[in-house]
Amino acid sequence: MKLSRLALAIAVMPGLSLAAEPYVAEPLVVTSGRLAEPQAQATAATTVFERDDIERLQVSSVPDLLSRVPGVSIVQSGGRGSLTSLFLRGANANQTLVLVDGVRLNAAASGLARLEFLSPEQIDRIEVVRGARSALYGSDAIGGVIQIFTRRGEDGLQPRLRLAAGSQKTFERSLGLAGGDQRTRFDLGASLVERAGFDRSQDGRGYDNDHDGLRRKAFNLSLEHRFNDRLKGGLSLLEQRGESEYDDLFSFDPGNPSERFSVSSIAGHLEAQLADGWSSRLELGHSEDKSENRDPLNADNNYVYNTYRDSAGWINTLRLGDAHQLLLGLDWYEDRLGSDSDFSRSERWNRAAFVQHRYRGNGFATELGLRHDDNQQFGSEDSWSAALTLDLAEHLDLVLSYSEGFHAPTFNDLYFPTSPFYGGNPDLAPERSKTYEAQLRGDHLDTRWSLSAYRTEVEDLITVVSDPVTFFSTPMNVSKARLQGLELSIERELLGWQATLGASLLDPRDRDSGHTLPRRTKRSLSLDLDRQFGAIAAGMTWQAFSGRYDDAANNRKIAGYGLLGARASWQMSDELLWQIKVDNLLDKDYSQALYSRPNDPLFSNVSYYGYREEGRSALLSLTWTPQL
């Protein structure tokens, strides 16, 4: 984030850092400490993508962008718009909290946030916090927290129009209008993506031998107003809806299903400077995750899962002198489920209180936090965190931290309707974690770098257990896991090219069986290179991922792969920008997950195939930003 955008971060969250920072050019982040602070002072390892990064990298999806983060494993079930899981530092896909403007996006039924349906055109910035943050956010933050900020207005009036066309009959259109003055700012935008897609399954049986397309409409609105020097407020809305086609993979006579989806969030806040050292912020939110699966050829594939969440928060930042800062807050949210399946319960609430103290002295800083959650279903849960930052030298810091996390069981885990072969378990306890981490980070010779080593112990992992006699399956707290790894990130200019490198080594292990946890890649590397040649810019991305196992028993292995992408742009005039990109330039054939297919109507045996991921594809776009 550029310094001209300080006002944006301050508007998003209250509070500033405690003392003068050594890195004056650092961007501000708000997710790590639930307040605005320079990234160099955040105790959690944090990756930030600005709007400039999204446009420069020409990403087509949010998972495409997040795959560059050290410690992130993305698993898609057949390209853009397919079911996507994100594993952060080896934690389960439902153990990473996703926020949009402070509002929880994880669905109450599955615990997943449908990142594959979010449009990059509606996003201003993304912060990825790696490591447990339950002491500030409560449930779901074992792996970390991902916060997405919708687009914000700036001074003046700036319309925008973008048109794009590419492979697989892809057509993208978006338009928007941003503007404002010193008191009021707004951004209004809409986009439409249509693509014929490709066949996501490999065996090509029956109706599955077709292209699986995607249609997505997205809308965003943000409004911020400063009433006076001590009071300001804002409202934001983000909505994506559409239809994504997929294959019916397990039926012997497959149908032709699709998912109609709607993912939306509304956030409002009011912030007041009640005294010179006291800032108070009230937040209200509502989010929805709606999924309707339809199949005109197979009635068994028709079902509905809709989850709704209302939330409220009250955050107070107190400055106790020059060196001390206190964060006090209250959180509440209520989940509701609407489904054509007969769940035994469809509502539950959660309320919480948290406190965090920070101290900055000469050469060191401390952070200590505690949160108490009270949940209608599983009862009380306390989460602690502590961090010590040592200034080893100029622009060289060592951060030692301990953090606890937990994940509340989902509606599917607890209340799924009982059938002869499966049922939920209302007696489940939350999954719990403890993380120990050391970070070394600095800024030397025009190189910003960080190195993190961590170890996470997870207890009471929820695993589906089957009775060998009755074949009845139910989730139970029976497993333990150990997640440990190293992460490296480097940013610098190299021979005129701006280089960004992220790499990670991960050992995600089931402590009971000794097996590697499924679908996590142990080694990953991502390199972006970009350079400006006057009005022309060029860039490339190289990513490499090691192999992974698709099952808990480690019997089915998926090969590793490497991907190369290229991009270029031409600033034709002050108002017109041409961009072109080619993903998977070498047309690599690869899979990130397997699926099973019955060999006969009795399901006596099955075969396994890899989901198809996207081959070589190109996209050409034109962006018009008229000067008013």
Query: pTM value?
Result: 0.93
Q: Is pLDDT of 144 > 60?
A: yes
6-30 burial, b if ≥16 CB within 10 A, otherwise e?
eebbbbbbbbbbbeebebeebbbbb
Q: Any idea what DSSP says for residue 58?
A: T
Q: Is pLDDT of 99 > 70?
A: yes
Mean of per-residue pLDDT scores for the chain: 91
- Give the residue, 366 or 18, on which the prediction is more confident: 366
Stretch 500-510: mean pLDDT, rounded? 97
Stretch 605-615: mean pLDDT, rounded? 87
Model confidence over 571-597: pLDDT tens digits?
A: 999 999 999 999 999 999 999 999 887
Q: Which of 227, 223, 225, 226 is nearest to 236 (CA)?
A: 223
What is the structure's pLDDT at 573? 97
149 to each of 9, 340, 407, 549, how far by Cα in Å? 10, 33, 24, 34
Confidence of residue 208 (pLDDT cuts 50, 70, 90): low
What is the structure's pLDDT at 12? 39
Q: Beta 37-38 vs 324-339: how paired, if at all?
A: unpaired
Q: Is pLDDT of 469 > 90?
A: no
- Give the residue, 544 or 467, on which the prediction is more confident: 544
Stretch 250-256: mean pLDDT, rounded? 65
Cβ contacts of 321 within 8 Å, gap of 6 or more: none
What is the structure's pLDDT at 601? 63
Model confidence over 3-39: pLDDT tens digits?
A: 333 333 333 333 333 333 333 356 799 999 999 999 9
Domain count, the chain: 1
419 C-beta neighbours (distance < 10 Å), count: 10
- Give the residue, 251 or 377, on which the prediction is more confident: 377
Model confidence over 397-419: pLDDT tens digits?
A: 999 999 999 999 999 999 999 88
Residue 53 host element (H or E): helix 51-57
Give the CATH number of the domain where residue 444 resides. 2.40.170.20
Tokens 């800062």: give the residue.
325
d(CA 558, CA 547): 5
Q: Is pLDDT of 68 > 80?
A: yes
Confidence of residue 377 (pLDDT cuts 50, 70, 90): confident
Helical H segments across 157-290, by residue range = none
Q: Which of 565, 581, 571, 566 is nearest to 536 (CA)?
A: 571
Q: Is pLDDT of 470 > 80?
A: no
Share of the chain above pLDDT 70, in %: 93
311 C-beta neighbours (distance < 10 Å), count: 20
- On whether the CB atoms of residues 611 and 76 are closer than 8 A, the answer is yes
pLDDT winner (highest mean) among 21-30, 206-215, 296-305, 619-628: 619-628
Q: Beta 96-100 vs 144-150: how paired, if at all?
A: parallel
Q: Is pLDDT of 421 > 90?
A: no
Q: Is pLDDT of 604 > 80?
A: no
Residue-wise DSSP of 121-180 = GGEEEEEEEES--HHHH-TT-SSEEEEEEE----SEEEEEEEEEEETTTEEEEEEEEEEE
Residue-wise DSSP of 281-347 = EEEEEEEEEEEEEE-TT-GGG-EEEEEEEEEEEEEEEEEETTTEEEEEEEEEEEEEEEESS--S--E
Q: Any idea what DSSP says for residue 89?
A: T
Q: Which of 54, 282, 279 is nearest to 148 (CA)?
A: 54
Model confidence over 270-279: pLDDT tens digits?
A: 999 999 999 9
Q: Is pLDDT of 461 > 60?
A: yes
Model confidence over 158-181: pLDDT tens digits?
A: 999 999 999 999 999 999 999 999
Cβ contacts of 67 within 8 Å, gap of 6 or more: 74, 526, 543
Q: Beta 184-198 vs 617-624: how paired, if at all?
A: unpaired
Domain that holds residue 266: 3-624
Range of lowest pLDDT (33-37, 282-286, 566-570): 33-37
431 to each of 97, 110, 270, 378, 413, how far by Cα in Å? 14, 15, 34, 11, 12
